[in-house]
Structure 1
Amino acid sequence: MMKRELLLAVETSCDETSAAVVENGVTILSNVVSSQIETHKKFGGVVPEIASRKHVESMTRILEEAVREAGVELRELSAIAVTQGPGLVGSLLVGVIAAKSLAYALEIPLIGVHHIAGHIYANALVQELTYPLMALVASGGHTELVHVASEGEFRIIGRTRDDAVGEAYDKVARAMGLPYPGGPHVDKLASQADEEIVLPRAWLEDDSYDFSFSGLKSAVLAQVNQAKMKGDVVNRAGLALGFQRSTVDVLVTKAMRAVREFGSRQLLLCGGVAANRGLREALGEACAAAGVPLVVPPMSLCTDNAAMIAAAGHLKWKRGEFAGLGLKAEPLFSLEDWGAGTV
């Protein structure tokens, strides 16, 4: 009989304070998330200092709630996993200090986890992963194509050269007078459009898997400003549709090319932008045509949460790769090095 392994995980990389208890790397016993969206909404984006303070205010309560909901005792925990980076350094520090304190008090191992590995392995909480696989990570802070040749073996083959896709959605939404966070509002507007305002695609070099969204964002701003100068009201729905189609076209085309080139047996869609209906539908159709399974976790596991950190932390648990109490928050953190166990 397999020994029961209980990981308590902590996630504070940006503006969600989260704690979770996951059994044997796949069974979620609790996953408590405290969002700060309402706090940051009036600023149109996350204010790092405020985010850090909110984490401090919420941490003890969220930890207690996660353990209580899981129906376990602290003495039953096998290890503590925590997001080490990347992220906002002040936010990361709150989680790292809390995790180190708890690991020290309980005399159990501490595991530092890479945030993007968490997004990728959130999929392992809902479906068995088949290697080699390709992961498209699309969120407010990240846009990457990651080839995962085997369990925990990461290679970033493409990344954004400027804005992350979620960040681009928020900036475009702000330009069109839509609320923060902008992604859901742009997605909804695009679905209501009667016509499309066609916008450019940034393909970059022929063989590149990198992304660029700054030019597309500028094209949207130009449309808004031109309408203002003419005294017209910009067709927001048509503009949203043009922006979404341009974004989705590039993401899907490059992801599917990567799947073919690397012989991937699954495509994983990870991160908060995985909730975007246009992106889900286009990827679903492309994967169906190519005969490649598309794996997308439920919305609760797409946005930042601690269960995904536990899932990725399970990789380190199995290898016995634990961190010391000198673990530091790493706002700039290498996914490849983390997976290889060199950090």
Structure 2
Amino acid sequence: MAGPQDVRTYSTELDLAGRRVVVFGGEATVLRHLARLLGTGAEITVVAPAVCPAIEAMAKAGRLRWHARSWQLNDLAYAWYAIASTRGDDAAIAEAAEKQRVFCTRTATEAIRTPAPDHPGPGVALIGAGPGDPDLITVRGRDLLRAADTVLVDRLAPLELLADLRPEVEIIDAAKLPYSRTTAQEQLNELLVDRARAGQFVVRLKGGDPYVFGCGFEEVTACAEAGVPVTVVPGVSSALAAPALAGIPVTYRGMTQEVTIVSGHLVPDQERSLVDWSALGQRKGTLVILMGVTHVARTTELLMRAGRDATTPALVVQDAATRFQRVLTSTLADLAEDCRTHDVTPPAVFVIGPTAGLKVPNVVAQPEPCLSS
């Protein structure tokens, strides 16, 4: 049963739901295969001494298991399907899989080049992929993604979107770039420009909307200054989508007529923070906080000290628009402790304000949220 086969067809030809699938290799090239596997309901195990940041994040989130070591024969025990994408061990893995009667694909067989559909020519497309569900990308974004020669992807972008890329498309995990965050951003900008100048159509795929705390303008500016054509495709921001998927509006007639979106990734009262938390504490409208899990205790403390009522309804949506979505209802005073109790982890969106306490029966969300309180 082992041997070369088209990886693009296994999700439809094989019923992998509840079956053990082992992926050997952790480079960014594996992401296209994991993208398909995630939608099959398979129990995924990745075996590799090191993996790209996107795979590491999926392991931490419990979406797959990662064994940080080289492959072993017993990795194939009880496996139903295997994918070999290593640097030199693929033949041995395929041979071992055949002896154990395990379906196996060697990704090195995907060397056939196919033309890109309606290739736009050299340039860069900055695409917002939406909050998590791959179906929430815009039609234009999906069309441009399919035409890409190279895709630079953030870990928060829906990886399922990579499943339909042509086999020869290069996938680069943007979080893999070395050095500090600022230096990595500079290298990413240079990579976009260099690939486009080499004649490629490059897609920068980002979660949410690239202009909402996404460094999108920095990347567009770098391309423009280098004379590289660049297209911006807006995306659905999690700041608005996450509350909606939890059944909560951020504005409501007669209750609130304003919504403020802020980043909570910095300690609220440190000098580098540009957010006026004292002013926000005196407002009555809806406050949406992105990237705020780490400092939620200090944030809520400052808001209450500035005048926000401790009983103000609060809500947190974790892993919005994915099958792992969780919704936690609380109050401003109890939010930090509830997050600790329920082990809330990034990515998560906080909603603080009167609308966070609204209760609407039979709200249909996609996917259905798991409600906690």
* TM > 0.5 fold call: no
TM-score, length-scaled by structure 2: 0.28
TM-score, structure 1 normalization? 0.29
Structure index of larger Rg: 2
Q: Which has the higher helix share?
A: 1
